[in-house]
């Protein structure tokens, strides 16, 4: 018997105005606080309060697939691996499962690679609307000379990247030099041209949730289209308390400016149940607009494999081996 899941996961991205930014408001930045204990208590309630089962869970997992930035950022990346990853991006879930679920045209949100692999990914994704995202600006440490970081952005855009994931200088946050962070982010955003820019905060290295909140706000003031938790290379990456802090900064920015900014948790999100928690958090805090690819992405690779396993279990009652769902 066919199980039909009615969900808009395969629809094209919704267009909305880019974040043009605003002048740096240091009074607003200084007023930002973060109640760590309250944030942690709120995050701890999510697992018990939000649970979906059966067809509803399958629908949410299909939604999660459409929000994945399918990523390979390894030192041993090859052109062949990137081409295989792009093939997976085109067909992220086995056709027989999509047929049984009544789905068609499902793809991931983007493919994320190093600058050197941008042209390969662009060629492999020709004929689709899947954007290529490039990690630039001396990823992951962001400590290359500034002119070289700017040049890397320009070259990635010229190679066909439609999204640029930049890394900020953590030292500006740790020393409270918000003007320097704003100026850096502003110049990087300018270098991106028409490409959307995601600002990676590397939250595991920012020491406090207050720093996370203030850095989020400054990057949005400087024109970030997305704010992103991590490079995936830090010892601590995306967490629910950090996510709650960042998305409340997004909500505050929208309340004051009317501009929607996207959110991307990255690093450590490898299980389907984790994806469901993040989706519940986004729906609770920001609402339905932030459940679309233009405003929410998962930075992940192994997450997709676990979602496929859960969907297969939903359809057959059996779990398959993880090696039956390779990424590339």
Query: Residue range 69-97: average pLDDT?
Result: 95
> Among this protein's residues, is 294 annotated catalytic?
no
Query: Which pair of tokens denotes residue 160?
Result: 């066909």
Q: For residue 160, give the DSSP letter.
A: T
Strands 110-114 and 226-228: unpaired
Task: Give catalytic status of residue 165 as yes or no.
Answer: yes
Q: What is the pLDDT of residues 216-240, one digit of tens each?
A: 999 999 999 999 999 989 989 999 9
Q: How many percent of the chain have pLDDT more than 70?
A: 92
Task: State residue 4's pLDDT score.
Answer: 45
**pLDDT at site 50:** 58
Q: What's the token pair of residue 152?
A: 């890397």
Catalytic residue status for 228: yes
The full set of domain ranges for the chain reads 26-320
CA neighbours closer than 13 Å in the CB half-sphere of residue 208:
13
Confidence of residue 56 (pLDDT cuts 50, 70, 90): very high
Residues whose CB is less than 8 angstroms from the CB of residue 188 and which lie 6 or more positions away in sequence, other chains included: 137, 149, 150, 153, 164, 166, 197
| Burial readout 82-114 (b: 16 or more C-beta within 10 A, e: otherwise) | bbbbbebbeebbbeebbebbebeebbbbbbbbb
User: What value does the mean pLDDT take over residues 48-58?
Assistant: 81
- Mean pLDDT for the stretch of residues 138-153: 95
DSSP 66: T
Which member of 165, 225, 294, 306 is catalytic? 165
d(CA 153, CA 163): 10
What is the pTM (predicted TM-score) of this model? 0.92
SS3 199: strand
Tokens of 169: 């200088």
Residue 132 DSSP one-character state? E
pLDDT in tens, 277-297: 999 999 999 999 999 999 999
On whether the CB atoms of residues 167 and 150 are closer than 8 A, the answer is no
Banded model confidence at residue 95, pLDDT cuts 50, 70, 90: very high
- Dihedral Cα 151, 153, 154, 159, nearest 10 deg: 120
State the pLDDT at residue 52: 81
Nearest C-alpha neighbor of 290 from the set 227, 213, 209, 204: 227
26-36: average pLDDT = 97
Q: Prior bond to 140 cis, omega within 30?
A: yes
Is the CB of residue 45 less than 8 Å from the CB of residue 284? no
Sorting pLDDT into bands at 50, 70 and 90, what band is 47? confident
Cα-based torsion angle of the residue sequence 148, 152, 154, 159 in order, rounded to the nearest 10 degrees: 150
- At 320, is the pLDDT very low, low, confident or very high (cuts 50, 70, 90)? confident
| Catalytic-labelled residue, pool 63, 88, 228, 260 | 228
For domain 26-320, the CATH architecture is Alpha-Beta Barrel (3.20)
**Which of 100, 264, 274, 294 is an active site residue?**
264
Give the distance, in angstroms, between the CA of residue 301 and the centroid of all CA atoms in the same chain: 12
Cα Rg of the chain (Å, integer): 19
């Amino acid at each position: 018997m066919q199980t039909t899941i009615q969900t808009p996961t395969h629809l094209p991205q919704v267009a909305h105005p880019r974040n043009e930014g605003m002048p740096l408001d240091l009074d607003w930045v200084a007023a930002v606080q973060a109640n760590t204990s309250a944030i942690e208590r709120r995050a701890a309630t999510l697992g018990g309060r939000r649970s979906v089962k059966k067809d509803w869970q399958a629908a949410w997992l299909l939604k999660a697939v459409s929000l994945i930035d399918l990523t390979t950022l390894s030192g041993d990346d090859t052109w062949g691996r990137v081409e295989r990853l792009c093939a997976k991006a085109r067909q992220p879930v086995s056709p027989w499962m999509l047929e049984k679920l009544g789905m068609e045209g499902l793809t991931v949100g983007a493919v994320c690679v190093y600058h050197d692999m941008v042209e390969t990914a662009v060629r492999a994704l020709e004929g689709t609307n899947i954007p290529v995202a490039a990690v630039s600006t001396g990823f992951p440490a962001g400590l290359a000379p500034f002119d070289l970081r700017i040049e890397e952005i320009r070259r990635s855009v010229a190679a066909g990247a439609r999204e640029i994931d930049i890394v900020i200088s953590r030292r500006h946050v740790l020393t409270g030099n918000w003007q320097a962070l704003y100026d850096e982010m502003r110049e990087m955003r300018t270098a991106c041209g028409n490409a959307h820019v995601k600002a990676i905060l590397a939250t595991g290295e920012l020491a406090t949730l207050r720093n996370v909140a203030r850095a989020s706000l400054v990057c949005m003031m400087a024109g970030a289209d997305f704010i992103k938790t991590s490079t995936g290379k830090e010892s601590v990456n995306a967490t629910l308390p950090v996510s709650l802090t960042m998305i409340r900064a997004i909500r505050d920015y929208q309340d004051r400016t009317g501009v929607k900014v996207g959110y991307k948790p990255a690093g450590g999100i490898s299980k389907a149940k984790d994806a469901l928690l993040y989706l519940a958090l986004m729906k609770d805090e920001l609402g339905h607009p932030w459940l679309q690819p233009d405003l929410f992405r998962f930075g992940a690779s192994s997450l997709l494999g676990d979602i496929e396993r859960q969907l297969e279990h939903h359809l057959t009652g059996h779990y398959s081996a993880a090696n039956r769902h390779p990424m590339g």
